[in-house]
Amino acid sequence: MPDWPATKRRIKMRLCLNVLVALLVLTLAIPLTSAGSISSLQAEISRLFEQVKPSVPTVVYTMGHKELISTGIVINSGGYILTTKDFSGKPGSIEVQFPNKKRKAKLIGYDRGSKLAVLKVEGAGLVPVRIGNSDKVKPTTWVMIVGNSLGISPSVSIGLISGRRAKDDMLQISASISPGNSGAGVFNSDGELIGIVSAALTRPLYISVGGGKVKTEINLLSRGELPVGGYGLLTPINRARKSMRDIIEHGTTSYGWLGVMLQKLDETLKSALGVDRGALVTNVVEDSPAEKGGFKEGDVIITYGKKAVKDVQYLVKIVKATKPGTAVKIVVSRKGKKKTLKVKLGERPEKDVLLNPWQISIPQLLKEFDRKTLDSQVENLKKEIEKLKEEVKKLKKGRGL
C-alpha cells in the first residue's frame, strides 16, 4: 500500500515550490516592467523635446547697458515669433538666439493686457510649432515646458495643468517657473503648443511696520531674466492666437471698455438690492462710455446684450472681449426697477486711473499707534486723498472696466 502521509508531504512540497517559483518570477518581472516603463517614458519625453527644441529660441532685449532675457516660440515659417514683453519702454535692439544661429528681430507690437508680444525675423529655415486646442485642456493634463531657464537654453520641465482661473481663463501649471521662462512654450503629450508662460505666482514678501506685519507682493527682475520663479500661469494658445492676429494687423490688442468700478455681490447685498445675480457699480469714471450712457453709482448690471450677468468676473470677461465701438444694450437694476441703457463701448485706456478706497481698521491701528499719532496720520491721509481726487478730475479719461 502507498505511504499516503509521505505522498501528501511530497504534494505539499511541490505546491510550495511552485508558489515560490511563481513569486520569484513576479518579483523579478515587476522591476523589469517598471524599468521598461520608465525607459519608455524617458524616451518619449526626449523625443518630444527634440521635436520642439528648434522652435523655441531665446529672446534677448537690449535696454542701454542692460539685457533682459525671455523665451520665444516660432509660430510660422514666415518669421513671426510669439514671446512676452513684461517691461515698459522700447528696447534698443532685439536678438533671437537659436541653437545654431542668431537673428536680429523687429518688435511688431504687444498686448499690454496679457504681456504677449510678436517679433519678426528675416530668413529661411525656421521650424514652426504645431498648434493645439487649449479649449480641450483639463486639470491633470500632462504638459512639458520648454524655455530658457536660468540662462540654459533650451531647458525642459514637466508638470500638470492644475486648473483654469475663472476670471480670465488663465491656466495654472504645477511646474515651477524659473527666471527666463517668460514666453516659454507649454506642450501637450502630442507635442502641440497649448499655451505660453506669461506670469509666475510669487510668494508674498513680508515686511514689518510698527511691530505688525503688512503683506506685500512684489515682482522683481532677477538676473535680467523674466519672470521671477514661482508656480506658473499660462495664456491658452487659442487666446494667444487671437492676440497675435490683432498685433500683426493693428500693432496691439484692443479691449472693450465701459468705465465703471464694480463690486461683487454677496448674499447680504443681493437681499438688500433685490437681485439674485449681477455686478454692483460703485463708481462711474468721468467722461467714460458708462457716464455718457447714463450709468449711476448703485446700479446693478444684470444683463449685457443678450447675456445674463452672473457675477463681476463674468462681466469683466465679456466686456473685454467686446470690440471697441460696439453699441450694447445693458439692463441694470436701479432702486429695485429695471432700466435699459444703451452704451457705445470705448477702447480700454493704456494707463490705469483708479482711486480705490482705503479700508482702515481703527482698533487694529490703535494697537500700533497712540491716538494723537493716529489722528495725525488720518489727517495726512485725507489731504493726500483730496490731492489725488483733484489730479483725477484733471484727467480726461479714467479706466475701470
**Tens digits of residue pLDDT in 91-149:** 888 999 988 889 999 999 988 778 899 999 988 889 999 999 999 999 988 999 998 87
What is the rounded CA–CA span in Å between residue 186 and residue 228?
17
Q: Which residue has the higher pLDDT, 318 or 99?
A: 318
Cβ atoms of residues 70 and 82 within 8 Å:
no
What is the rounded CA–CA span in Å between residue 399 and residue 58?
35
154: pLDDT strictly greater than 60: yes
Cβ atoms of residues 195 and 76 within 8 Å:
no
Arithmetic mean of pLDDT, 342-364:
59
What is the rounded CA–CA span in Å between residue 115 and residue 95?
18
For residue 216, what are the contacts with CB-CB under 8 A and spacing of at least 6?
204, 205, 206, 207
For residue 28, what are the contacts with CB-CB under 8 A and spacing of at least 6?
none
The single-letter DSSP state of residue 69 is E
Phi, psi of 150, deg, nearest 5: 55, 40
Assigned C-alpha cell, 104? 536680429
Phi, psi of 191, deg, nearest 5: 80, 15
Positions of E strands within 294-370 = 300-304, 307-308, 327-334, 337-344, 346-347
The single-letter DSSP state of residue 242 is H
Q: What pLDDT shows up at residue 398?
A: 54
156: pLDDT strictly greater than 80: yes
What is the rounded CA–CA span in Å between residue 286 and residue 30?
71
The mean pLDDT of the chain is 77
210: pLDDT strictly greater than 50: no
Q: What pLDDT shows up at residue 289?
A: 94
For CA atoms 190, 191, 192, 193, the dihedral sign is positive
